[in-house]
Every structure is written in structure tokens, then in C-alpha cells.
A and B are shown apart, each in its own frame.
Chain A
Amino acid sequence: MTIIKKIPDKLGQHALCAGCGHGIVIRLIQEVLQELGQADNQIAVVGVGCICTATSALKVDRFQAAHGRACATAEGIKRVRPNVVVYTYQGDGDAYTIGIAESLNAAYRNENITMISINNTNFGMTGGQMSWTTLPGQKTETSVNGRDCELTGLPFHFPEMVANSQGFHVAYAARGTVNDVKSINQTKRMIRNAFEAQLNGEGFSVVEVLTACPTNWHMTPQQCQERISTSVESEYPVGEFKKRG
């Protein structure tokens, strides 16, 4: 009996909710780094959020950043360890609502790090509060009548922003989903591009991934998939906004 497909060596088990999309992205990162021969040459800088219930799955060198500060921390690590693959793993609340200054500074300076941000349109860990990425009209713990964009601003598009704004010259910016085999494979190719950009010294790379949060969306995993492929993807298009040069 030969094993032809198994989870990457650096992957352990986690305590995420049933149907949570984080688990798939965590696996894809380790698959890519193993395929690139970097499994033993990585430092993960994790934000504060549901990833904290999954750090047992990351059997790699890892640093728990202060809330929102993962990009700044990763930059520091990369500058003193330029040959190690350094990446952040952050929720949308950590990466944008709370940590936008650090995230934008890293992108603006084209720091040679990779940012993986998980957009589940809310603050998962703390019980489903509104985030910058919450959809218009979406009910959350802090937008009980639905998000009012007049009052709270419009949904936030980080990959588009760093790809298209004057003054930014990032290496790679993309958005994927992990809704089915096709989109999972596409997102894996995006993550591979992001890490290859870093290995080639091209600068800042970001992949945002749209994921399901069944617990806080109060939906079954299957209903979450339906919501992602309809309303979430129509607000947050999947694709590469800055391709590698």
C-alpha cells in the first residue's frame, strides 16, 4: 500500500468550527511551502482571531503578533532573516479594521513578505461583530438591523486597493475562495504565486481568501457555500488584481 495523497508534514489538527473555511487555507499554505521545498524554512506570523484556535495545526516556527500588527512584526522578522519565508495569517478584522496601518505600510513599502488574509465578512472569534468587510445590509452582532453603509462605510477591498492605487507597487495581489475543488485549486495557485514572488525578492504579496463562518452566519456549511458564490463573490470578485511582472 502506497500513500499517494496525504496532508503536509507540518500540519496538525485544529479546533475550528465545523465547516470553517480557515482549515482549508491553512492546509493550502503548507502544501505550497512543502512543494516549494520551504517547509523547514518558514516563519508564520499569526494575527488575533480564530486562527488562534488553529495554531496547533501549524507545526512550524510561528509568532503570535499583537492584534492587527502582524505585517509590522513580519517585516521585522524578514529584515533580520531575509532568507526565511515569512508570512502573516490574519482575519479581515485583524488585517483591515484593526491593523490597516501596518498592512498598508507593508504594502506601500513593498516589503518582501506575504500576507494571507481571511475574509469571512465578520469578527469570528469574538462572536460575529461587524467588520469593514461586512456586506451592506448584513446582520451581525453589532449591526443588528443590517449594516448601514451611510453610517459605517462601504465594504473594504484591500487587494484592489494595493494593486491599483497610485504610490503602491506591490508584487502580487489576488483574491480567491475555497468553495469547491476548482476554486480551491485556483486559490492554491494564487498562494504559490505569492510565495514565489517573495522567494524571488519581488516584494509584497497578498492573497485574500473568502471563507465560510457557519457559526456566526447562523447557516449550515452548505448554505455558507451558497452565500459565498452569490452575494459575497458579487461584492468581492475573485481574481488577480496585480499579476507578477
Chain B
Amino acid sequence: MSKKIIINTAVCKGCGYCVAACPKKALSMSADFNPAGYHFTVVDEKACIGCGTCYTVCPDYVYSVVEE
């Protein structure tokens, strides 16, 4: 069983709180834009441990955590 995050990139506004808070430095900002015109986050799945820090600091409800 491993934990991973799901990113709803469409609602991300690129504030970057999660990128700064991630303890594993697994998040970065995409150079692309989402349909709303914002940069959005991408995850390095190998580095991510599914701790949910990004969920906690996100003001835009971008993240959920799943176990598989």
C-alpha cells in the first residue's frame, strides 16, 4: 500500500504555498497554464510520500490523498 496525491490542476491558482511547504520538495510549478490562466503544480511521484501537507496549506482545494 502506498499513498499518493491527486492534483485537480484546473482549480490551482499557482500561489505556491504547497511548493514551499512540501517536506520532500516533490512539488513544482508547471510552465504551462491551466484553462483559468494560472500556472499549476506538478508532482514528482517518486519523491512524494502522500503526507498531505499540500492538502493542508492549499487555499484552493486542489489536493486529495489516496492509498493504493
A-side interface residues toward B, CB under 8 Å? 1-7, 11, 13-14, 16-24, 27, 57, 180-181, 184-185, 214, 220-222, 225
Contact = CB atoms under 8 A, between A and B. Distances in A.
Given A13-B11, A221-B15, A5 B57 contact: no
B61 A13 contact: yes
A23 B11 CA distance: 12
27 contacts: A1-B66, A1-B67, A2-B66, A2-B68, A3-B65, A4-B66, A4-B67, A5-B55, A5-B63, A6-B64, A11-B61, A14-B60, A17-B13, A18-B14, A19-B16, A19-B17, A23-B59, A24-B57, A24-B59, A27-B61, A57-B61, A180-B21, A181-B21, A181-B57, A184-B56, A184-B57, A222-B20
Interface of B is mostly: mixed
B50 to A, nearest CB: 8
Contact of A23 (B20, B53, B55, B60): B60
B59 A3 contact: no
Contacts, number: 70
B17 to A, nearest CB: 6
Given A19-B17, A221-B17, A4 B3 contact: yes
Which 9 A/B pairs are nearest by Cβ-Cβ distance?
Answer: A23-B59, A18-B13, A19-B15, A5-B65, A6-B64, A221-B15, A1-B68, A18-B15, A7-B61
Given A2-B68, A221-B16, 5 more contacts: A3-B64, A5-B64, A23-B60, A27-B61, A225-B17
B33 interface: no
Interface residues of B, number: 25
A14 B13 CA distance: 11
Contacts of A57: 61
Nearest to A26: B59
Contacts of B65: 3-6
B16 to A, nearest CB: 6
B57 A180 contact: yes
A46 to B, nearest CB: 17
User: Which residue, B13, B17, B59, B68, has most C-beta atoms of chain A within 10 A?
Assistant: B59
